[in-house]
Amino acid sequence: MLLIHCPYCGEARSELEFAGAGEAHIARPENITEVSDEDFAQYFFMRTNPKGIHYERWRHIHGCGRFFNAVRDTVSDRFLKTYKTGEPKPDRAEFEGEGR
């Protein structure tokens, strides 16, 4: 089971308190009625699904209830960082080669 640090509660809690909410930093197009079907499919369905560093959303559903973002390595399953919604996407260089 994962141990997840909620950036709002400031505490690491068991995965049982959290709900995974998929890939992070996918912005909904503002002109949603105008985007082409291709672009909509890209935004709505396509995922990077990387082997390695993954930016993802979690929700502290049985805690503060808030959504936040995380950087996690999908090979080791280790969390590299969690941060509040709206904070900038951390540069992946930050995490390269640090014994993930």
Binding-site member from 28, 33, 47, 97 for other proteins (CB under 8 A): 47
Should residue 76 be labelled a site residue for other proteins when binding is judged by CB under 8 A?
yes
Should residue 51 be labelled a site residue for other proteins when binding is judged by CB under 8 A?
yes
DSSP-derived secondary structure letter, 89 = P
Should residue 60 be labelled a site residue for other proteins when binding is judged by CB under 8 A?
no
Report in angstroms how near the CB of residue 95 gets to other proteins at its nearest: 16
Locate 65 and state its tokens: 């209830």
Binding-site member from 28, 31, 33, 45 for other proteins (CB under 8 A): 45
The three-state secondary structure class of 15 is: helix
Binding-site member from 22, 65, 86, 88 for other proteins (CB under 8 A): 22
At residue 44, φ and ψ (nearest 5 deg) are -85, -35
**Cβ 86 vs Cβ 68: under 8 Å:** no
Burial label for 79, CB within 10 Å (0-12, 13-18, 19+), is middle
Q: Which residues bind other proteins (CB under 8 A)?
A: 1-2, 15-16, 19-20, 22-23, 37-38, 40-42, 44-51, 54, 56, 72, 74-77
